[in-house]
Structure 1
Amino acid sequence: MNVSNDGTTPRSPVVTRRRWWLPSAVLDELDPDAGRPGLPGRSRRTARDWFVDFFCFLLAAALGLAAADSLRNETHLPHALAVVDQVLGALACGAVWLRRRHPLGLAVAMIPVGLVSNTSAGTGLVALFTLAVHRPFRYVAWAGGVSLALLPVFYWLRPDPDLPYAGVVAFSALLTVSVIGWGMFVRSKRQLMLSLRDRARRAETEARLRAEQAQRLAREAIAREMHDVLAHRLTLLSVHAGALEFRPDAPREEVARAAGVIRESAHEALQDLREIIGVLRTGDSDDAGHPQPTLAALDALVAECREAGMKVTLTDEVTDPAAVPASVGRTAYRVAQEALTNARKHAPGTEVAVTVTGAAGEGLAISVRNPAPEGEVPHVPGSGQGLIGLTERATLAGGALRHGPTSDGGFEVRARLPWE
């Protein structure tokens, strides 16, 4: 025997699937689930609900009055039974206000009442319509089938004096089937509207999630851009500040040049930081602000590194750097910038070789290589994060990046990017 987490025995799934085969489907109306708040039977009536309920009450009352007037033609009907008929019809009209709370219970109760009271026929039709709107077809099939089966019995016991037996039975059956069909149509229309609303809510949720994901990706791209830009500037500051710290007796001209580089690098770092912060505030793309660097700006980057005291050799075999796509050229520039920054931090004083080759249709290849540094180089916090970002950047551009030590103890960063 299976036992649930709360210690109770779960309901058998076989019994649950076959309960509706029982004629006593009214038991489902007494289930705790049928009375939970939030289901259609327990929801608060709106102004439209009050209007519809009042209309159903008037319809049931009008049909009941018409049936009560026809009782005069039933001369064979005992007076006591006529009184009972009208009393039950009046009570049935009052029960119309319970149709939303107990649609199945009202429909089942109207079956024996309708067999005795002709004035309750309007309420019976309203109950069948409500059942078809608020409950699945299996309940409608039982209640409607029993009502249709009892129609010949009712008109056999109480024949209509003006219409033939077969004609009145056929008309009543057609009217009952029409009411049930109308209710099922209303139910299917409501289910369609609920399905469309659910799809709309899911679409809004998915759009919101896509927007959040796009914002997250944009922030990650801006963070990578901030690292690529500021790491280069701050490394220059660190190198020249360290030179001033360890060589306080340097010539005046060298001190002035180092101080100028520090001032210029700090100014450019602040300017880059302001532009990146501006992108975050305005929500623009990472192409906002000043034009982003491309492969054509590689000469200026190498010249800046040489002014900072680095030994850099550039071999550029690309005949027309302006023909390189902007995204590919920007990625190549960032690879060279990050590799030069790492060489300055981890291999100071070495000669760094930058090589760029490629052509349209063949792809663009960039390599930054430095030999082993002399002496022991202190560990720099955060090492390796820039290379991770470069690898991701190259992958997003459709290329690949490799990095690692060389056979002579140096280090090399190689990237290959597509160039259609």
Structure 2
Amino acid sequence: MKDDSTAPHAPAFTGRRWLFPSAVIHELDADGTTPGRAGRRPRRTARDWVVDITCFLISALIGLASAETVSGDPGVPPGLAVADQVLGALACAAVWLRRRHPVALAATLTALGPVSVTAGGAGLVALFTLAVHRPFRYVAWIGGASLALIPFVLWLRPEPGLPYAAAVVLTALLTLSAIGWGMFVRSKRQLMLSLRDRARRAETEARLRAEQAQRLAREAIAREMHDVLAHRLTLLSVHAGALEFRPDASREEIARAAGVIRESAHEALQDLREIIGVLRAGEPDDAGRPQPTLGALDTLVAESRQAGMKVTLVHQVADPAAVPASVGRTAYRIVQEGLTNARKHAPGAEVTVRVLGARGDGLTVLVANPAPDGDVPPVPGSGQGLIGLTERATLAGGRLEHGPRGDGGFEVRAWLPWG
């Protein structure tokens, strides 16, 4: 019997169910209610026609062989033989309905077994179809009834030239073979559908992971852009504000402030080009300039002092050159953000930057400032910088804490793993 377990084309997805081009695969669902296109059953493909014709020919050949046996049996009245053959022909014709009504066809042909011997081939095809297209509970009831009727049928219609026990065993083996083959085809088909579903689910999960990686990359770039540009733009704001509120400043002071503004703008553009380079290249190592490390803290503090801040740097790292680049870059960004916030929210206050640690003990970074003198004009800010620094420190395996001190000042303290 031909195995019709595979479809020639891939399934089409309609949003809620899979629709397969083969009418046989369409019937694999438990209750046979899967709608086809526009609510109709899918049309038979060329492969389905080949399978259906093969099943019909098998039923007809078995029926013809049984009809000759019935006609040659002197114990069977002629009228009963003719009725047997007519019912067998109708059963063979009903095989064409096996896809649409597998349960009804198998039950009808099983009940027809004691009446018509020539319908036996169609009954085997019906049991095979039932096992392919319906769950085991249908096969158990109808297949069990068919097996139970075999001794009774062979008692009424003994097989000529074959002992009764041998005929029962042979017929039962043929019935079990049809049922077992159908269940094998069904399990194979279910495995194929499961593999298709797993493959499609794996593709979906891979796409979601790629989207998540892109989103995380965008967030990392956004944090980097905030950390890089906030420091430069704050310098621009401070010196531009000084020029605005001190129109009587000397020419040297104005020139110095203009120089700082020009240099800060140039550095901001350079940093922005780095970020754009990362976006284009996809890797942070492809940036135009090297990323800052712990050794760049002196330059950062010098820039802040040149902008008019009072900064005290206490550098107590045993071997600064041995600090990993990622840890040093994180420490640099923490100090940079702390100086930026102190410049905005505590202008004129002295800021203390302390960096200490050794291999195995970790790296501790402290940025603290006392309360500012007098009232501080409100400065716009969303607080995302400290949130980004906390996430950065956590991703590096460390921790970051920040908050007001008892004297009204503010403190940022971080610990980063080293070694």
Category of TM-score, reference length = shorter chain = 0.7 to 0.9
Q: Given residue 93 of structure 1, which amino acid in structure 2 is its aligned partner? A: C
Q: Given residue 179 of structure 2, which amino acid in structure 1 is its aligned partner? A: I
The equivalences for 1:328-347 within 5 A come to 328-347=327-346
Instruction: Name stretches of at least 5 consecutive residues in structure 1 with no aligned partner.
Output: 1-28
**Residue 375 of structure 1: aligned partner:** 374
1:407–1:201: structure 2 CA closer, same or farther, 3 Å change rule? same
Distance (Å, rounded) in 1 between the aligned partners of 2:135 and 2:121: 22
CA positional deviation for 1:191: 2.0
CA positional deviation for 1:274: 2.9
Helix, strand or coil at the partner of 2:412:
strand
**Residue 416 of structure 1: aligned partner:** 415
Q: Given residue 35 of structure 1, which amino acid in structure 2 is its aligned partner? A: T
Distance (Å, rounded) in 1 between the aligned partners of 2:382 and 2:342: 12
Distance (Å, rounded) in 1 between the aligned partners of 2:414 and 2:393: 7
**Residue 93 of structure 1: aligned partner:** 92
Equivalent residues of 2:71, 2:78 under 8 A apart:
no
Helix, strand or coil at the partner of 1:317:
strand
1:267–1:47: structure 2 CA closer, same or farther, 3 Å change rule? farther
Distance (Å, rounded) in 2 between the aligned partners of 1:93 and 1:270: 84
The ranges of structure 1 where at least 4 consecutive aligned residues each deviate by more than 6 angstroms after the TM superposition are none
Distance (Å, rounded) in 1 between the aligned partners of 2:57 and 2:278: 66
Helix, strand or coil at the partner of 1:372:
coil
Distance (Å, rounded) in 2 between the aligned partners of 1:337 and 1:168: 94
RMSD value, Cα: 2.2
CA positional deviation for 1:50: 2.5
Equivalent residues of 2:314, 2:354 under 8 A apart:
yes
Helix, strand or coil at the partner of 1:316:
strand
Using the size of structure 1 for normalisation, the TM-score is: 0.87
Equivalent residues of 2:369, 2:410 under 8 A apart:
yes
User: Deviation digits for residues 32-85 of structure 1, max 9, x if unmatched?
Assistant: 95434269x955433332222221112112212222232332122222222222
**Residue 283 of structure 2: aligned partner:** 285
The equivalences for 1:36-75 within 5 A come to 36-37=34-35, 42-75=41-74
1:201–1:343: structure 2 CA closer, same or farther, 3 Å change rule? same
Q: Given residue 329 of structure 1, which amino acid in structure 2 is its aligned partner? A: G
Distance (Å, rounded) in 2 between the aligned partners of 1:272 and 1:82: 98
Distance (Å, rounded) in 2 between the aligned partners of 1:214 and 1:377: 41
The equivalences for 1:326-405 within 5 A come to 326-405=325-404
Q: Given residue 107 of structure 2, which amino acid in structure 1 is its aligned partner? A: V
**Residue 18 of structure 1: aligned partner:** none
Equivalent residues of 1:73, 1:161 under 8 A apart:
no
**Residue 187 of structure 1: aligned partner:** 186
Distance (Å, rounded) in 1 between the aligned partners of 2:286 and 2:87: 80
The equivalences for 1:146-225 within 5 A come to 146-225=145-224
Of 333-342 and 205-214, more deviation after overlay is shown by 205-214
Q: Given residue 370 of structure 1, which amino acid in structure 2 is its aligned partner? A: N
CA positional deviation for 1:162: 2.0
Q: Given residue 189 of structure 1, which amino acid in structure 2 is its aligned partner? A: K
Across the two proteins, how many residue pairs are aligned to each other?
Answer: 388
Equivalent residues of 1:35, 1:42 under 8 A apart:
no
CA positional deviation for 1:254: 1.9
**Residue 10 of structure 1: aligned partner:** none
Distance (Å, rounded) in 1 between the aligned partners of 2:382 and 2:134: 66
Helix, strand or coil at the partner of 1:419:
coil
Helix, strand or coil at the partner of 2:158:
coil
Distance (Å, rounded) in 1 between the aligned partners of 2:107 and 2:98: 11
Helix, strand or coil at the partner of 1:116:
coil
Distance (Å, rounded) in 2 between the aligned partners of 1:161 and 1:323: 98
Helix, strand or coil at the partner of 2:107:
helix
**Residue 35 of structure 1: aligned partner:** 33
Q: Given residue 60 of structure 2, which amino acid in structure 1 is its aligned partner? A: A
**Residue 138 of structure 1: aligned partner:** 137
**Residue 15 of structure 2: aligned partner:** none
**Does 2:310 correspond to 1:311?**
yes
**Residue 406 of structure 1: aligned partner:** 405
**Residue 102 of structure 2: aligned partner:** 103
Equivalent residues of 2:71, 2:81 under 8 A apart:
no
**Residue 237 of structure 1: aligned partner:** 236
Distance (Å, rounded) in 2 between the aligned partners of 1:156 and 1:405: 99
CA positional deviation for 1:332: 0.5
1:384–1:36: structure 2 CA closer, same or farther, 3 Å change rule? closer
Helix, strand or coil at the partner of 2:329:
helix
Distance (Å, rounded) in 1 between the aligned partners of 2:47 and 2:331: 66
Using the size of structure 2 for normalisation, the TM-score is: 0.87
**Residue 25 of structure 1: aligned partner:** none
Q: Given residue 350 of structure 2, which amino acid in structure 1 is its aligned partner? A: E
**Residue 257 of structure 1: aligned partner:** 256
Distance (Å, rounded) in 2 between the aligned partners of 1:385 and 1:140: 65
Q: Given residue 257 of structure 1, which amino acid in structure 2 is its aligned partner? A: R
1:127–1:390: structure 2 CA closer, same or farther, 3 Å change rule? same
Helix, strand or coil at the partner of 2:373:
coil
Of 139-148 and 355-364, more deviation after overlay is shown by 139-148
Provide the identity percentage: 76
Equivalent residues of 1:310, 1:349 under 8 A apart:
yes
Of 78-87 and 127-136, more deviation after overlay is shown by 78-87
Q: Given residue 80 of structure 1, which amino acid in structure 2 is its aligned partner? A: G
Q: Given residue 57 of structure 2, which amino acid in structure 1 is its aligned partner? A: L
Distance (Å, rounded) in 2 between the aligned partners of 1:268 and 1:90: 93
Equivalent residues of 2:312, 2:350 under 8 A apart:
yes
CA positional deviation for 1:229: 0.6
Distance (Å, rounded) in 2 between the aligned partners of 1:380 and 1:239: 11
